[in-house]
Structure 1
Amino acid sequence: MTGSGYSPSSAPDGRGPWRAPVAAGPLHATVTVPGSKSLTNRELILASLADGPSRLTSPLHSDDSDRMIDALRALGVRIELEPGSGRFGPDILVTPVWPLHGDSIVDCGQAGTVMRFVAALGGFARGDVTLTAHESALHRPMGAMISALREVGVDIDDGGHWALPFVVRGHGHVRGGEVTIDASASSQFVSGLLLAAPRFDVGLHLHHSGARLPSIPHIDMTVEALAHRGVHVERPAQGEWIVPAGAVRGKDVAIEPDLSNAAPFLAAAMVAGGSVSVTGWPAHSTQPGAMLTEILALMGGRVQRRGGALTVTAGSGIQGVDLDLSAAGELTPTIFALAAFADSPSTLHGIGHIRGHETDRIAALVTELRRLGGEADELPDGIRIVPRPLHGGVWQAHHDHRMATTGALIGLAVPGVDVDDIGTTAKTMREFPELWDAMLEDGGDAATHDAETMRAS
């Protein structure tokens, strides 16, 4: 690790280049991260389809969750923000309406969960629901979802483009039935159908036909969320789900911390030395980020969960790995950054689907590491990283929050790394620059204090 004294990063408002701070020495920090985006948006959908009000405690407040709230409000759902015990903002109280309202426009922004989950809800509206997105997200795969929704009776006018923007011509109900989908491009196709299925007239019998199904933990998360609300999903075979028609219970739900958003903080201990603890780490979780305990240990970190916190401590070095990340593709950018500092080459595979995320993450990671003097190559289904000495330079975020946090992680050990758009981290964690700076401050534990007071300032 190189660099002298620590100073807070520039561009704290997210405008202009953000100079990634270099760690001046080993870290000794405790960090609290906001709630899970994946859980928050799933629970918002289920609460909107429920038989009574629901309260979400410690939810995520971010660009993605705001897009979901705005989308559901556009469909007539009553959503209120009320004071709660969460450190990062108010609780969310959801009061459903039925049928949903049509004659509305839903701007999905860059949120894949909004475009895939709300498309299924559009059929429950009385009237047209137009779905669009930020221009940088119009490329995201939607064709398989459109086809599957048509098979269960949703009337969609996409102008023959099989992509956003499109219009769902809602009739107040959806027939449902048996449908086959190739969800190789995104597990969100499966989750979107499963979440809406209890409200289908005859439920849903869903088959996945592709050779591979990515991010299975996210589907497990959806099934578990449904079960907590009284909907039992049968899984008679791999890639097959049966959801009966029936009530979705209104319920108060506490949202877990976002474990994938915790990844760069935990990995920071391995890059800079020392240790970082993340509070509120669940004993059991369906989040893909739960795999960090095994992955970081495999790469040479010492991992321990005690008192509800997960602590990662640097070992003697970072070890190169050969990893199948098909179940946790969203962790790829963080693991990629660690691999750039490893003692041997690494291969990450099973991640071809991340080409269809906010950007082509495989191409973007390779391009940006090479820009800093590193060596990486694209594979048909992954990336190979060969550690090389790195130098400063511009790290482009490509409108992708996880690309931005990867630049910050590399910048801990490489002076002069400028992330061109740190503000894109607001997609899932508005507090990232402040939390990152606080982690690096003298004493480290200020990270927790700053997180608690950030919203009050």
Structure 2
Amino acid sequence: MTETTGHTVTDPALWPAPRAADPVDATVTVPGSKSVTNRALVLAALSTEPGWVRRPLRSRDTLLMAGALRAMGVQIEETVPSSTGPADGARHPGEVWRVIPAGLHGPTTVDVGNAGTVMRFVPPVAALADGPVRFDGDPRSYERPLGGVIDALRTLGARIDDEKRGALPMTVHGSGSLDGGAVEIDASSSSQFVSALLLSGARFNQGVEVRHTGGRLPSLPHIRMTIEMVRAAGGQVDAPEDGGEPDVWRVTSGALLGRDLVVEPDLSNAQPFLAAALVTGGRVTIPDWPAHTTQPGDALREIFTAMGGRCELDERGLTLTGGGRVHGIDIDLGEVGELTPGIAAVAALADSESVLRGVAHLRLHETDRLAALTKEINGLGGDVTETADGLRVRPRPLHGGVFHTYDDHRLATAGAVLGLAVDGVRVENVATTAKTLPDFPEMWLGMLGARA
């Protein structure tokens, strides 16, 4: 519903992205990593003893994961000590989720929302449950690729009813165990297909051997994250980087152990705040940035340095200082595709052309991100064209207008970045950022302070 005052129409669904009057100078505490939180929950649910997940991300995607595991009998106790005071963003310093494994069972229904990690990581868990588990979600979830996981689970011995769609909705008829063994899979549309099988593989009777047979495998850092976390939980994994066969991963059957894990801040969610320093020629510090990590977002240090910033990692965290000008970049983002929307927004404000390559798989994410970025940046006066596997961004003077998000959290934060330098940008449905970054509008205004 809109309110009309004179000739001004205000739509509460349109968030006025604040223009930065001065260079930003802020410290921003970023919530925990969604990727780490959801992997930790799955591994804890499959362990032989309770585990603890500290400083988890509390967002729609992680709450959907917790809800999915609870639906199959896993207990997850959430503790937020009152002594910690108000939440710092969405990252409660004292928050702990205690995960108590139990006999997995159906019948039950799992709501995946539009969370790729839930729709792909949980079906292998459901195959180990005793009874049917139905999977459903948002309308967009029906369009996202899932056939690789479905076909692989069938090869490994699972019974799945998807009415030959290769997509949601579907029902996994768990029998309490899964044979496992060797399987070939085309994961060129999502590395999550591989991670899904590796996370549960230790619980399969014969373990699992996953052989990728398709084209280029995107987002390899996420697979490395999965391997590291499975090993930390006591699983034995053989991977290509250990000298094994290319595109083949093996997980040995065996017990997983409960862990006491502190979740790193989500480095990809730090992107819009670091971009603000770059775009405004200011300075932003992200506390607790890890010195060593498998998160794809760590690539921002190199990428934003190439685009004109200066990064310093010390005991305070990561500090990015803008140089006053933003430079274009020619870069392959195949391993870090989730960073593309934010980089495209920065590129639209650069002093030279950018070419973003290796991200054709983004057409199958929360929305078709390549088409959406092209349409929305061009709608503000930009000059973006799609290529076979990415985007070509030619900077042009931009003007205000509505930046549509298509229920995609990374489109919303990209619109906010553009608004720093362009008057009159209004971001449609900024609340979609709650998928992985709750309280984003408040964090953004807090970063800008009185300058907002």
TM-score normalised to structure 1 length? 0.93
Hey, what does 2:101 align to over in structure 1?
A: 96
Hey, what does 1:382 align to over in structure 2?
A: 390
RMSD value over aligned CA atoms?
A: 1.5
- Cα-to-partner distance string for 1:288-326 (whole Å, 9 max, x where unaligned): 001011101111101111114101111141111110000
Q: What is the aligned counterpart of 2:29 among 32, 36, 41?
A: 32
- Aligned residue pairs total 432
Hey, what does 1:452 align to over in structure 2?
A: none
Hey, what does 1:407 align to over in structure 2?
A: 415
CA distance in 1, matches of 2:404, 2:217: 29
CA distance in 2, matches of 1:252, 1:83: 16
CA distance in 2, matches of 1:290, 1:308: 16
Q: In the alignment, is the contact (CA less than 8 A) between 2:380 and 2:400 conserved in 1?
A: yes
CA distance in 2, matches of 1:55, 1:193: 23
Q: In the alignment, is the contact (CA less than 8 A) between 1:282 and 1:308 conserved in 2?
A: no
SS at the partner of 2:270? Answer: helix
Structure 1 residues 15 and 43, CA gap change in structure 2 (3 angstroms): farther
CA distance in 2, matches of 1:254, 1:16: 36
Hey, what does 1:283 align to over in structure 2?
A: 291
Hey, what does 1:391 align to over in structure 2?
A: 399
Q: How does 1:246-261 map to 2 (within 5 A)?
A: 246-261=254-269
Q: Does 1:349 align with 2:354?
A: no
Aligned residue identity for 2:267: L
Q: What is the aligned counterpart of 1:23 among 20, 24, 32?
A: 20
Q: In the alignment, is the contact (CA less than 8 A) between 1:173 and 1:200 conserved in 2?
A: yes
Q: In the alignment, is the contact (CA less than 8 A) between 2:285 and 2:316 conserved in 1?
A: no
Q: In the alignment, is the contact (CA less than 8 A) between 2:160 and 2:170 conserved in 1?
A: yes
Q: Does 1:71 align with 2:79?
A: no
Q: Does 1:245 align with 2:246?
A: no
Q: In the alignment, is the contact (CA less than 8 A) between 1:373 and 1:391 conserved in 2?
A: yes
Q: In the alignment, is the contact (CA less than 8 A) between 1:153 and 1:174 conserved in 2?
A: yes
CA distance in 1, matches of 2:346, 2:13: 26
Q: Which runs of 5+ in 2 are unaligned?
A: 1-9
CA distance in 1, matches of 2:287, 2:129: 41
The farther-off stretch of 225-234 and 109-118 is 225-234
Hey, what does 1:3 align to over in structure 2?
A: none
Hey, what does 2:3 align to over in structure 1?
A: none
- Cα-to-partner distance string for 1:375-432 (whole Å, 9 max, x where unaligned): 0000110000000000000000111000000000000010100001000000001121
TM-fit CA distance, 1:238: 2.0
Hey, what does 1:112 align to over in structure 2?
A: 116
CA distance in 2, matches of 1:104, 1:343: 54
TM-fit CA distance, 1:210: 1.1
The farther-off stretch of 76-85 and 424-433 is 76-85
Aligned residue identity for 1:201: N
Hey, what does 2:225 align to over in structure 1?
A: 221
Question: Identity over aligned residues, as a percent?
Answer: 51
Hey, what does 1:209 align to over in structure 2?
A: 213
The farther-off stretch of 325-334 and 75-84 is 75-84
TM-fit CA distance, 1:342: 1.0
Hey, what does 2:52 align to over in structure 1?
A: 55
TM-fit CA distance, 1:168: 0.3
Hey, what does 2:7 align to over in structure 1?
A: none
SS at the partner of 2:127? Answer: helix
Hey, what does 2:447 align to over in structure 1?
A: 439
TM-fit CA distance, 1:443: 8.8
CA distance in 2, matches of 1:431, 1:416: 22
CA distance in 2, matches of 1:151, 1:429: 37
TM-fit CA distance, 1:343: 1.1
Aligned residue identity for 2:161: D
SS at the partner of 2:124? Answer: helix
Q: Does 1:123 align with 2:131?
A: no
Hey, what does 2:378 align to over in structure 1?
A: 370
- Cα-to-partner distance string for 1:257-286 (whole Å, 9 max, x where unaligned): 000000010010111121111111000010
TM-score normalised to structure 2 length? 0.94
Q: Does 1:309 align with 2:317?
A: yes
Q: Which runs of 5+ in 1 are unaligned?
A: 1-10, 445-457
CA distance in 2, matches of 1:124, 1:290: 34
Q: In the alignment, is the contact (CA less than 8 A) between 1:29 and 1:443 conserved in 2?
A: no
* Runs of 4+ in structure 1 over 6 Å off: none
Q: What is the aligned counterpart of 2:184 among 180, 183, 186?
A: 180
Q: How does 1:161-200 map to 2 (within 5 A)?
A: 161-200=165-204
